Amino acid sequence: MRTTSKIKSVLVIAATGTLLGIGGIAIAAFVQSSTAGPVAGSAESFSTVTVTGAQTGILLPGESAYVTLTLTNPNSNVKARLASITAGEVVIDTVDDSADTAYCHDQIELSTVGADPLFPTLAVSEANYPFKLTDAVKLKADTDIRCQAMTFHTTWTANFEAVR
């Protein structure tokens, strides 16, 4: 008799747990779908934000140039918040004497200190948002003529976050 009661109890508990489990999943699915809108499930899509950039001016020793990034959010479902921006590397493309490449590479400094203090949140499908980094590229004051008329490029990395 006791054994039968225990079995009954276990069965009742198992049935209850199963029902509640299904109910819990249903609740989760309901809440999730209502949060995500037309997108079902937790895997929200977020396409890469488009970033182009340009540097202002031709540098002479001791001068700094602005870098302006143009941001475009191609996502029609979420906003894109600029979370961080970091300076990458300097690559010397051409210099009078290739033996001076290493020297000239070290004469260029990158900085994000002058970036706009407020990182923007791009609206849905917002295009061509300008983001300026003041004095982002600097040619050291003691740079000698070996580096004149050289061409180079700098790399920058922007990190975006999807927000509602």
- Return all residues near 59 (Cβ < 8 A) that are at least 6 apart: 65, 137, 138, 139
**Where does this chain touch other proteins (CB under 8 A) — which range of 59-67, 113-121, 122-130?**
59-67
Does 118 contact other proteins by CB under 8 A?
no
DSSP letter string, 94-108: E-SSGGGHHHHHHTE
- Nearest alpha-carbon partner for 53 in 70, 30, 39, 34: 70
Q: Is 23 in the site for other proteins (CB under 8 A)?
A: yes
Q: Does 131 bind other proteins (CB under 8 A)?
A: no
Counting residues that bind other proteins (by CB under 8 A) gives 68
145 binds other proteins (CB under 8 A): yes
Residues in 39-58 that interact with other proteins by CB under 8 A: 42-44, 46-55, 58
Q: Are 45 and 77 in contact (CB under 8 A)?
A: yes
How far apart are the C-alpha atoms of 100 and 146, rounded to whole Å?
A: 7
Q: What is the DSSP-derived secondary structure letter of residue 146?
A: G
We find the least distance from the C-beta atom of residue 32 to other proteins, in angstroms, to be 4
Least Cα distance to 91 among 105, 110, 112 occurs for 105
Interface positions with other proteins (CB under 8 A): 1-2, 5, 9, 12-13, 16-17, 20-21, 23-25, 27-28, 31-32, 35-36, 42-44, 46-55, 58-61, 65, 67, 69, 78, 80, 83, 88, 93, 108, 137, 139, 143-145, 147-164
